[in-house]
Structure 1
Amino acid sequence: MPELTSEDISSLIRGYFKDAVSQSIELAYILPRDHLYDQAGEIGSLKERMQELEALLARRAWPASVQSEAHALLGTIIPEKLAPASERFQQLCQGILRADHENARILAAMLAGKYHEVAPQDPIFAGILVNDAPPVPGDDTVAPAEQTLASVATLFHAYKVKHDWVAKTAADANRVLSLAKSIIGEKKPFKTLGIDDVKAVRDAIASLPPNYMKVAANKGTSPKDAIIANAGGPTLALKTQDKYYTMFRQLLIWGRNEGYIDTIPGEGVKLAGSAKLDAGAKRRPYSKEQLQAIFASPLYKGHKSQTTRHKPGSELIRDGKYWVPLIALYSGMRMGEIVQLLASDIKTQDGITYFDVSKSEGEDKNLKTQSSVRKVPVHKVLLDLGLLDHAHGSGRMFPDIKKGEDGYYSHNFSKWWGRYARQIKVSTKDTAFHSFRHCFKDGLQAVEAPEYVSKALMGHADKDVHAGYGSGPPLSLLKKNIDKVSYSLDQPSS
């Protein structure tokens, strides 16, 4: 085998860089022309990618995907593979990462309109011009750019963020799409995706270690490397696997519907254990005994201090921790809907006080679906306990509940409730805070509330053909039914 020189490796690296930049020029031309394009989100993702690459370069860590790319490049000039520990192979791996980093920086600059910053800054790419003209609209002599997995994933993410997803869902989906691109290859033409690609993503999701998609310590570790290191180890919870795999499937379905691929590849490929998921993942309502234990606990009868709610004492702090479970039990509202309430969200119409479950421009609130927008009368029990004392001004109703690291007010409260339920010994594997919502639904059934009233109160979409007509059940009817709901509990201390 002829001896490779440093110049040979440099030539491979520069060629790789030119190809990458050429694709970025196409993306910089295509993306802004789409009305769903999220400029800030794309630039932010590119900057995160640059940080990940810098971490790898600092540690001289070459992920399996980079080594595979290096072998492919070498295969164009020599018939045999280089040893991974050899100096030339190490030089090539480093060069690939430097090319990826520089390409991400240049694409971010182009998307930001900062074309004065697109000249290569890394010395290894000095002299390479980044000025290939984009295709001219209507010029039949220029073939349209082939949509890759990366480009379709970008368009899909932008569309769903615009029309469907809240921020947390968008962040989860971004991690799933990054995983798919890493496993399949982001340059693969979308129309050529097949069943083997779908199975590869499914198997990767099923083999990742717990929290890989979220833990900052995993930054710079490719999914393939993480899977190899986790061989035989614990994996993501089945429910989490199902969520991520469903998001990937949504990309394929959307791609088919938008005409980027003719059929959905691997339509019958399922996640192992998915048949058991529905039965095992369902939450049950709290039992009568659990409810009695909760509302007879120190949180409602007197506790030691603000930070020690599970031990009996003389304090009785009626803040968010006191009210949120009560509102959930007597309204059926979701945790996320309650903890983000503003004081001004309690309103009165025709003498009926109600929760205005909605989201207006500029409000720091999120709703699960469009059908979540609704009016929920305040139950007479909550009025008797003095809930309206919190309904003054325009600030948050429960300012003691702080926003979590994921940007949601439910993040910290959910953890606190799980801990409190364990401390007072009412926690079980099939009950959680959401069980209050199940209790309320059962309560409506017990008083024979009509199904359309139940759906209106709980924010469930009514798919009956008649549901699309009229303005829904009157507030007076909702109030009449909600006040009938009773649990035969001792009244919490007020």
Structure 2
Amino acid sequence: MAKTPYLLRRNGKCYFRIKVPSHLKKTLNKNEIKVSLRTSDLKLAKQRIPLHLLEAQQLFSNAEKELIKLSNQNHSNSSSDISNIELERIVALWFQELEQQSEEYDYSARVSMSADERYEVLDSLREDLAGYESESENVIGPAVQPRAEKLLIKHNLCLEKSDKQFHYLCTLIQRALIQHTYNRLSIYGDMYKRQSDRLFQISHATPISKVTVTTKDEMTITWKVVLKQFTEVKKSDGVTDKTLASYKLIKDFTSEFFGSDRDIKSINTALCRDLIKQLSQLPSNARKHHPNLSLIQATKLPLEAISKRLSATSINNQMQYLSTIFAFAVNEGWIDRNPMSGIKRIKANHSETTSREPFTVEELNKLFRSSIYRSERAPYRSHKFWLPLLSLYSGMRLNEICQLFAHDIEIIEGIPVMHLRVDADGIKSFKNKSSLRTVPIHPELQRLGFVDFALEAQHRLQKLLFSDIKPSAAGSYSDNFSKWFGRALRSEGLKRNGLVFHSFRHTFRDAARNSNLNREITSKIGGWSVSDDVMDRYGKGHSIQRLYEEISKIKYQGLDLSHLGS
């Protein structure tokens, strides 16, 4: 469980506790403030913390004013006694303290917050950064001058605001705030390309302190901790359980190969190459076929004792997962570089290539005249009838269709649409933010009776539109159908390399190109990201009418569905 800042629990009782800034300890004659919250209820205690925090900050502010008053009465040093090097050391030390204070909160807060909360924090930090990087004195002055005055008081120094060195001190503080904000953005997952300010790297800041400060470089971060933090942070970022399940094999294998208690800083590129070499000897579905062996033991089985080893494609996927974990560790500041960098992907044999292929018109005609569709009669059509057609005429992913609620189908301005949106119970999962969208229902789907099918499901008060779909053991609504569809393609003589349910999405994309659909609208309908351009995030987007006009252009020359009727 993430630690709540300023909350102390002792013997079932809750307290508010905050450290007194070092330069105020003598004035206030205490090292910390600890106040009973007069409750043992954690929720109630958290609600009372902000009031005590406000009172503590007011106390610190009054003490600051008292120090300023005393300083004005006793000018202990003149500006000529202060060198620029001394000012740099003072600000570098202050920066180090600032980093430690925020990290104590940020690292625990990020793990417990939702994806939406993280986006709010990132937006707030970007606003702060815009202010700190401003060249306007009216904007940056109020942010740096009070901090400059406090630092002078803390170190028993005096500078007039008109002094050049006071201006230099403010410039240093501005640089520190900019670097500090970039560091905080990194903690919350915002990747940026920027060279760190040399003055505020740990190697520059450490010598100025007379006390030993524990830094992230001095901490021992074990592989077990890395994997745990990676999983927790990715969950808080909105990554689905299904996506995280993809990491299970590499997490289990590395835990055996590296050892759970290995210091991450001791893992280098050579060790990773050895790991990949041994991983390539792992039998396919080792846990299932050899449950009594560890993964490492399974790699030592002779070829005649196994059906096949992991394919090059599977190994490359695991390498990518491992590289992602190391990239996370780099971003957290635990290691300086990704040891997977420079390790080349394994070249797959031609027979292993599994890129998805679109359906041909001949294959579509054969599919929609197969026994699958001959057994389906209106109005009692099942999900097996509708799922391929919906993907073909909307480009939707299989899981997006399977998890539709009955009330996700609506008529807006006379146009029937499908809403791909999150639900309050967290049943649905989406690949990314672009996946959340509203898709007009193609005229051909309307002709086949899909809207009537949805309205009937609403009339029966169904939650899921396709109530006959049963989730898999992993909780996925698409897994079972995906396997069934693969078997159906084989039974109908349609199976070939690269042809899977996802091929409908590729087929739709080709149809959009051939029908000259607007690229941005195609991306909006299909849930593809258009670009990272800030301009694309402005405005409300295209109207339902405009989207409907475009999707209605989708045609499949030579495809005959007239026998399906409505």
TM-score (norm 2): 0.58
Per the TM alignment, residue 315 of structure 1 is displaced from its structure 2 partner at its CA by: 9.6
Among residues 146, 164, 188, which one is paired with 2:262 in the alignment? 188
Structure 1 counterpart of 2:508? 440
- 1:311-460 alignment to 2 at 5 Å? 317-391=380-454, 392=458, 393-460=461-528
The DSSP-based 3-state class of the residue aligned with 1:281 is coil
User: Rg larger in 1 or in 2?
Assistant: 2
The DSSP-based 3-state class of the residue aligned with 1:331 is coil
Among residues 347, 351, 355, which one is paired with 1:282 in the alignment? 355
Task: Determine if contact 2:326/2:340 at 8 Å carries over to the other structure.
Answer: no
Per the TM alignment, residue 172 of structure 1 is displaced from its structure 2 partner at its CA by: 2.5
Change (3 A) 1:34 1:431: same
Among residues 138, 143, 153, which one is paired with 2:227 in the alignment? 153
Number of residue pairs matched? 353
Change (3 A) 1:218 1:316: farther
Higher relative contact order (CA 8 A, sep 6+): 1
Per the TM alignment, residue 338 of structure 1 is displaced from its structure 2 partner at its CA by: 0.6
- The one-letter code matched in structure 1 to 2:500 is A
Task: Determine if contact 2:315/2:346 at 8 Å carries over to the other structure.
Answer: no
TM-score (norm 1): 0.66
Task: Determine if contact 1:447/1:484 at 8 Å carries over to the other structure.
Answer: yes
Structure 1 counterpart of 2:561? 490
Alpha-carbon displacement from aligned partner over 1:389-436 (angstroms, at most 9, x marks no partner) = 332135111111110122101111011111111111111112111111
Task: Determine if contact 1:209/1:226 at 8 Å carries over to the other structure.
Answer: yes
Per the TM alignment, residue 243 of structure 1 is displaced from its structure 2 partner at its CA by: 2.0
1:475 has 2:513 as partner: no
Change (3 A) 1:355 1:483: same
Change (3 A) 1:422 1:274: closer
Task: Determine if contact 2:486/2:495 at 8 Å carries over to the other structure.
Answer: yes
Which stretches in structure 2 are left out of the alignment for 5+ residues? 1-103, 113-210
Structure 2 counterpart of 1:90? none
How many percent identity over aligned positions?
27
Structure 2 counterpart of 1:208? 282
Change (3 A) 1:331 1:204: same
Task: Determine if contact 2:323/2:340 at 8 Å carries over to the other structure.
Answer: no
Which stretches in structure 1 are left out of the alignment for 5+ residues? 1-29, 39-138, 304-313
* Aligned equivalents of 1:276, 1:36: Cα separation in 2: 43
- The one-letter code matched in structure 2 to 1:320 is H
Per the TM alignment, residue 493 of structure 1 is displaced from its structure 2 partner at its CA by: 3.7
Change (3 A) 1:383 1:251: same
* Aligned equivalents of 2:273, 2:410: Cα separation in 1: 51
Structure 1 runs of 4+ aligned residues shifted over 4 Å read 30-33, 139-145, 217-220, 230-233, 274-277, 314-317
- The one-letter code matched in structure 2 to 1:253 is A
Change (3 A) 1:225 1:447: same
- The one-letter code matched in structure 2 to 1:478 is L
* Aligned equivalents of 1:371, 1:424: Cα separation in 2: 35
The DSSP-based 3-state class of the residue aligned with 1:158 is helix
- 1:34-53 alignment to 2 at 5 Å? 34-37=108-111
Task: Determine if contact 1:330/1:379 at 8 Å carries over to the other structure.
Answer: yes
